Structure 1
Amino acid sequence: MKRLILLALPLLALTAKAQKPEDTEVYKPVPPKVNAGAHFADAPSDALILFDGKNLDQWVSVKDNSKPAQWTIADGAFTVKKGTGNIQTKKSFLNYQLHLEWKIPANITGKGQGRGNSGLFLASTGGGDDGYELQILDNYNNDTYVNGQAGSIYKQFVPLANANKKPGEWQTYDVIWTAPTFKTDGSLNTPARVTVFFNGVLVQNNTTLTGPTQYIGTPSYKKAHGACPIKLQDHGDPSEPISFRNIWIREL
């Protein structure tokens, strides 16, 4: 009992110091000024524009990083060009806020995972489909395994809600990504975390990832990495092409 009383004394002393409102008012450091866009989806003043509706200068082919992305640009959007492979950002990132808009074709066909399948890899740890995938798929009226539907962290975490719009309508992902960190020996220090708003609806709430995406088996952190590009997937389904527009990022 005496020990508990002694431990409590420093806390009581700290509390006693705050006698006036200004004792708990903080004035520095002052947050930097950022001019928000006129609309929610508009890029703020400190954002890096990853696609401005005109060119794919910020993207390269995953098959060959020395070559530009080969997807098709028209009407302020770019569309998967089947057979050209995944594309990824030229720049690598650690922690960030990302806005991205995507559209499933109105005349989409197929079912399950074969209906408008693509993926936003929040950190691309290698070629192919390596990395941490936020699923893109038409689930407006399309059943599949729930940890593989739109808004899921693929094969890991089910979205908190199905916020899909109809095919043919533009949809939005707003992402807060916290990259994993690793110790000097390569072992995991802190896991990756992600928050996702899908069409303004919270579907991943500071979710802690168990590792990069694993199509077969249980995900785990197998290798250390630092900053990574962001990747978009050419899934190769007959039901594509999927389109993207208005992509911007703020490093945190």
Structure 2
Amino acid sequence: MAFKIIMTALLAGSFFMVQAQQKAKPEDTEVWEPVPEKVEPGEVHIEAPSDALILFDGKSLDEWVMTQDRSKPAQWTVSNGVLTVNKETGNIETKRAFGDYQLHIEWLIPENINLEGQSRGNSGVFLASTGKGDAGYELQVLDSYNNKTYVNGMAGSIYKQFVPLANPSRKPGEWQSYDVFWKSPTFNTDGSVKTPARVTVMFNGVLVQNNVELKGPTQYIGEPSYKKHGPAPIKLQAHGDKSVPISFRNIWIREVK
């Protein structure tokens, strides 16, 4: 009898949990205030050091594959030293998997953009890609120069988790940079978290994430939670909206042993 009672309680708990998840909405995890202070950034363009692995040299996508089918080479556009999103083909990610690292990446929102909110030049740098689609830990890419949106979804945010400490965004049409220092999570043999992921981010030379401890991979709806994984690729997002394509350049990484 006791066993039946326990099983009934467990089933009831699972039922109500599923119901709660079904009722959850994206806006439940949006934060709108306080708005980070605007900062005028200095000039930043960092060339790769001698021990860096060049992920994009302006000519070749040899280090990249399609996320949905890793047997296919990346199918984004390369022209005049710049890599531009191809929304028809989907996300791309690195061939190689990484643990702890230092990453430099530069990105540009076209100056002719005329949309608002999350549709205004949306992409993302997934610091560890944990599956197909948008699975992973997302550092948001967005035009946040003069664009109102929820602050844990603006440029420099760890999407839906951490608001940037400041807003050093440049105007659309100007190159911007992220310098990322990533500490990957570790797990116990039973799959529980041993040490959570941590990340520090410099945005146009301004500290916007200061060694924050992540709650898990990005969740668009609901709260994040960890699932065991090892070293993972870095992914660039082809966001499925009407926003104009975003471009990238000067992408390099230094693995931290």
Place the TM-score, normalised by the shorter chain, in its bin: 0.7 to 0.9
Point out where structure 2 has 5 or more consecutive residues left out of the alignment. Answer: 1-43
1:59–1:90 CA contact under 8 A, matched in 2: yes
Q: What corresponds to 1:243 in structure 2?
A: 247
Point out where structure 1 has 5 or more consecutive residues left out of the alignment. Answer: 1-38
Give yes or no for the alignment of 1:73 onto 2:67: no
Q: Which among 224, 229, 234 is matched to residue 228 of structure 2?
A: 224
The runs of 4+ residues in structure 1 deviating greater than 3 Å are: none
Q: Which among 132, 135, 158 is matched to residue 137 of structure 2?
A: 132
Give yes or no for the alignment of 1:91 onto 2:89: no
Counterpart residue type for residue 144 of structure 1: T
Counterpart residue type for residue 229 of structure 1: P
Q: SS where residue 69 of structure 1 aligns?
A: coil
What do you get for the CA RMSD once the two structures are aligned?
0.9
Identity of aligned residues (%): 73
1:123–1:131 CA contact under 8 A, matched in 2: yes
1:2-26 Cα deviation digits (max 9, x unpaired): xxxxxxxxxxxxxxxxxxxxxxxxx
Q: How many residues align?
A: 213
- Which structure's CA Rg is the greater one? 1
Q: What corresponds to 1:155 in structure 2?
A: 160
Counterpart residue type for residue 65 of structure 1: R
| TM-score, normalising length: structure 2 | 0.82
1:124–1:131 CA contact under 8 A, matched in 2: yes
Where do 1:102-181 residues align within 5 Å? 102-181=107-186
C-alpha displacement of 1:236? 2.2
1:116–1:237 CA contact under 8 A, matched in 2: no
C-alpha displacement of 1:240? 1.9
Q: SS where residue 50 of structure 1 aligns?
A: strand
Counterpart residue type for residue 249 of structure 2: R
2:156–2:164 CA contact under 8 A, matched in 1: yes
| TM-score, normalising length: structure 1 | 0.83
Q: Distance in 2 between matches of 1:207 and 1:181?
A: 16
Q: Distance in 1 between matches of 2:88 and 2:250?
A: 24
Q: What corresponds to 1:210 in structure 2?
A: 215
